[in-house]
Structures are given as C-alpha cells and as structure tokens.
Chain A
C-alpha cells in the first residue's frame, strides 16, 4: 500500500514532499468519519432498545427527548422476569435451541463425514441436493407442513400443532443442510493421509471420525454449532404458524404476540423482553466472533 501511494503521489504531484503521508492521513480520517456514521446507523436501534427498556412508564409517554433516560429504572426487567409467561418463553426457546443443536450436529457431522470421505452410490448428487435444500426457504414449506401435521393427527392421534417440542422436529430442516454443507467443506480439507494412517492402524470408520476428524475440524464444528443455535433461537415463522397457547410459545413469537396487547403497547417491557431475547446470540457472538464469522463466510467460500 505504501508503495502504491508513493507511485500515485509521485505521478500526480512530483514536487511536494510530505503529501503522501498527508493523503494517507486524510483518507484515514474520512474512513473513520464514515465508519462512525455507519456505526451510528447500525447500532441505533439496539441502543434505543436499551434506553427504552430503562425508562419508567411515565417517561415513555412523555414528550421529552426520547433519546435520553431521565429516571433510569430496572422496573421493566423486574416486571418481565417475575411474569411466568416470559420465563416460559425463555425456557421453551432454550430447550428447543439446545435440542436442535444436538440433533443437527449428530445428523450433519456423521452425514458430512460419509459424504466427504466414504462416498457411496449417489453421494455426490446427495451433497448437491443438501445444498439445494438449504436454498428452499421456510416460507415455502410452512403451509404443506401445517397440512401434514393435521394428517399425522388424523392417522396416529399425535397432536403436533401447538406444542413447543414440534419445533425440535422442524428446525433441523433449516439447520442441517447448511451445517452438513460446511462440514463437508471442512472435512474435505483434511489431508487423506491422516485417515489412511488411521485405517492402517486398524481404526474403524467411527473411530476415524471421532478420534481424527472431529478434533481436527473442531473450528468448523464450533462455527456450525453457533450457526445452528442462532438460527433456532431467531426462527419466527414456524412457531408463529404452529403454536398459539401462551405456554407453548418460544421467545420471539411470545414477545410479539403476548406483549403487544391490542392498541396498548407496553413499550418498556417489549424492549426489555427483546433485549433479553437478543442477549444469548449477542453474548455468543461477543466471545466467539471469529468462529461466528467463519461460519458466516463458509457457505460461499468453501465447497
């Protein structure tokens, strides 16, 4: 970069010493200036969420400056956390997400190993099919799924609609294809010599997977796990379409449908609820940012 700047500056104005570093300095200042503007734009809604959640009821309805808290209070959080409903949503969401992560990782790591290394008739087609599945959105599937659920009820008597645990069956359709896909990428990048050595030493396929592939591809597994958790935590359409009772809702749907009661919006509590709901993904992101970003970019850059 420095050389580049020398060359440009040299060609344009040959005689002014010091203009190189001055140009660089100005470019840097402009970069910081615009970055600050964009950071304000990107962080404004979460910031506003935070300050609203700290406001007492009177202040939310007042015509004072909405961008400032004059009498900060934790009442909204206390009220919310002492409500049974909110804790139920949180518990449902947590159980669903953890179960989905476990189910997804079991299915996708084993399948990815088989698709990347063992190969069978049609495995290449299946790998492409897995990716294609990832491109089919939930908004296309929820209506036929709804109908299939009533068919299940009619034939077996198992009621799937309006139960939070149904989500554990449905969410893997959103997470497994992508996780399998990025795990295939990670497994394919492991040198063949490694598993050949293991096979020669008499390891079974399962041992090769658990002793060699999983430890070596651990960064990929962490990235896939994070992806899986955030997707199941944020999923909104399936629970909105398939659950209605207050005890069966997960967090995003719970906040949107129960805290917004008719025209009386209790904004302090809604914002407190949304903030707490956004907290788990944000905390994971804060601590495991590099894995999070690796998972995000893996879909397009690997494979």
Chain B
C-alpha cells in the first residue's frame, strides 16, 4: 500500500514520465497489491521449506556438509522406524474413524427436523472450536494415572483399571481417541453441508425403484458426496499427519518413544536436544505424504475450476 502511494508520488514529482505510465497500468497496480502476500510467502514459507532441505544435509554443529548422512543415520536407528510406523498408524486410524463418525453423525443430524438441527450441530462442533492444547489438557486429566475419571467408572462397573497413558498400547489408543474427538466434528460439518446439497428427487427416484436405505446411501448419497468426502479426507490426512499439539500435551511421545510422531520427535530432537539438522531431517519425512495429498487436492480444484 505505502509502496503504491510513495512510488506514484515520486513519479508525479519527476513529471509525467514513463515510470508513471507503468505505475498506472492495471497489472502493475495488481502486482503491487499482491506484493505483501508474495513477499510473505517467499520469506516465511517457501524459503524456510527449502532451507529445511539444506539444513538436513549439515552435521550437528552445522559446520560441515554431510550430504545424506543424517538420512543414513536415521535409517539405521530402530527408533526412527518405530516413529514412521506410529505416525502412519496414528494418521490412518484417526482419519478413518473421523470420517466414519463424521458420516454417521451427519446422517443422524440430517434425519431430525430442520429446526432442531442448528442446536445439535452447534453442540457437536464444540470440540473443534476449543483450542486443541486446552482440550487435550482436560483429556490428560481424564486419563490421570491415579485420579482417572474413566477408571472410576470402570471400577464401579467391575472392570479393571486401565493405565491410559502409561502402557504403550493404551497410550497409542488414547492419542488416536483424542485426535478423533477433536477432528470428527469437522467431518460432520463438511458432510452435513454436502448432504444438504443432494437433490431430494434422487432419493425419491431410488425409493420408487425399491432401494433399501443401505442402497440409497451406497448408490445415491456416497456418489453425490464423493468430491467432498475426498477433499475432506485429504485435508484431514495432512493435518493429522503433521499433528503436534495432541501428542505433545498428552504423552510428550511417551512412554519411552511409543507415541512419538514425526512432528513431536522433530521437536524433541531439533529444539530440545539442539540437533537442528537432524530435527529438520525428521520433519522432512512428512513431505512425501503431504505432496501426494496436495497433488490430489490441486487436481480436484483445477478440475472444478474448469467446470465453472
């Protein structure tokens, strides 16, 4: 903004020069209006992303170029492969459950009379609205080893107590549960919007043909919602794969390294242990999955762009 004013003022001062003419051109003004955005993207996103690749090829004190030394080092460590596995299990399981729960609840909300839907939708979206770090704290307290409110219920039902965050298996289950709790409402909202856009006539036609409710979902609802389902799952995969808050607050990767995902381990190695190049290397392993998801999303967007 200031640039435009300053440069056009300067142009005016030096008389009606060719610079002035250039400044008056629509595309120049447009470019200047987008300039803050371009600068921000290049300095704070594109450059750091490229810099991460450079960092991953340095040694710990960042004095020597080691090529793929850091990658080589990681590939030989069993912990690294555990984290790859845990990241994949975490992301895939969480996304599947979020998608299923979101789909089912969206149908229930869509079933009830329209005037009640707003209220239910409002209540069910609350987990998404609360900052993840805050709500994870309440889960941490629900999972507390000695005062767990869940275990209190379990004991009263005659079930054994569970060490929610203390045992590797249960800790893995817990981080996924919290992730599903936070993320499912997002799917619910997206699916509900999609469900509303399916024309009523299609269901009527299906019913006249004698379709059961299951066939109506399989042959009418799902195909009509295919785009939204795909894009929501892709978005969610990216966010879940890069998740940090939940694991960090709930278990900080523990017990031992059982629940670490790429992001939390990169933080531990890069910031807490001070090995910046190794941390950068770990975080780079998120790139392949992000690239695949991004390609699909972009393809979908350009496809829809050409339809319009």
Which residues of A come within 8 Å of B, CB atoms? 1, 3-5, 7-8, 11, 27-28, 31-32, 34-35, 38-39, 41-46, 48-49, 52, 60-61, 65-67, 106-108, 110-111, 113-115, 118-121, 123, 126, 128-133, 135-148, 169-170, 172-173, 176-177, 180, 205, 230, 233-234, 236-237, 240-241, 252-253, 255-256, 265, 267, 270-271, 274-275, 277-278, 281-282, 285-286, 289, 292-293, 296-297, 299-301, 303
Contact = CB atoms under 8 A, between A and B. Distances in A.
25 contacts: A8-B212, A27-B111, A31-B111, A39-B120, A45-B127, A52-B141, A107-B37, A110-B1, A113-B33, A128-B298, A130-B41, A131-B301, A132-B294, A132-B298, A140-B287, A144-B48, A148-B48, A180-B37, A234-B133, A256-B137, A278-B129, A278-B134, A293-B121, A296-B128, A300-B232
Contacts of A108: 37
B91 interface: no
Contacts of B33: 110-111, 113-114, 118, 205
B124 A118 contact: no
The majority secondary structure among interface residues of chain A is helix
Nearest to A115: B34
B27 A118 contact: yes
B84 to A, nearest CB: 15
Contact of A234 (B52, B122, B132, B298): B132
Interface string B213-234: 0000000000000001001100
Contacts of B45: 133, 136, 141, 173, 177
B109 A4 contact: no
A285 B129 contact: yes
Interface string B261-296: 011001100110000100110011011001001100
Interface of B: 1, 26-31, 33-34, 36-38, 40-41, 44-49, 51-52, 55, 62, 101, 104-105, 108-109, 111-112, 118, 120-135, 137-139, 141-142, 144, 147, 149, 152, 181, 184-186, 189-190, 193, 200, 203-204, 206-208, 210, 212, 228, 231-232, 235, 238-239, 242-245, 248-249, 262-263, 266-267, 270-271, 276, 279-280, 283-284, 286-287, 290, 293-294, 297-298, 301-302, 304-305
B48 to A, nearest CB: 4
Given A173-B44, A252-B131, A282-B126, A147 B304 contact: no
B286 A139 contact: yes
A39 B127 CA distance: 10
Contacts of B238: 135, 137
A237 to B, nearest CB: 5
B203 A278 contact: no
A213 to B, nearest CB: 12
A136 B47 CA distance: 12
A-B pairs with lowest CB-CB distance, top 3 = A118-B30, A234-B131, A137-B242
B267 A172 contact: no
Contacts of B29: 114, 118, 205
Contacts of A255: 133-134, 137
A177 B41 contact: yes
Given A143-B276, A296-B128, 18 more contacts: A11-B210, A31-B108, A42-B184, A48-B149, A52-B138, A111-B36, A118-B30, A123-B30, A129-B41, A136-B45, A136-B290, A144-B47, A145-B44, A148-B48, A237-B245, A241-B271, A281-B131, A300-B235
Contacts of A172: 40, 44
A267 B141 contact: yes
Nearest to B112: A31
Nearest to B278: A143
A233 B133 CA distance: 11
A140 B267 CA distance: 10
B244 A236 contact: yes
A265 B206 CA distance: 58
A113 B31 CA distance: 11
B283 A130 contact: no
B242 A296 contact: no
Given A32-B112, A241-B271, A278-B130, A146 B276 contact: yes
A130 B45 CA distance: 10
B223 to A, nearest CB: 17
A49 B225 CA distance: 36
A42 B36 contact: no
